[in-house]
Amino acid sequence: MSTFADLVELARICMRQARIARSPDVAGVLRQMAEEYQEKATSLNDGEVPDIDERLLDEERSGAPLIPGSS
């Protein structure tokens, strides 16, 4: 069973890949996958929908704030 954090990360990865995909068909499938992971994460989070903006994934990995000067 996947954890909430795992599902959110998978959704973010799919969204990132959808944005850079060259094929509209592939991008559509990746967005669909991201939505499905987000829905599963929502069900584990008392109905609260997680933000799956892939820039947040970059921030978490780097430890740097998304907006320079913010903490």
Q: What is the DSSP letter of 67?
A: S
**Tokens found for residue 9:** 């990360």
Average pLDDT, the chain: 82
Q: Are 42 and 48 in contact (CB under 8 A)?
A: yes
For the chain, the C-alpha Rg in angstroms (whole number) is 13
**What are the tens digits of pLDDT across the range 40-66?**
999 998 888 888 876 655 555 565 554
Domain boundaries, the chain: 4-62
Please tell me the pTM assigned to this model: 0.71
Which DSSP state fits 50?
P
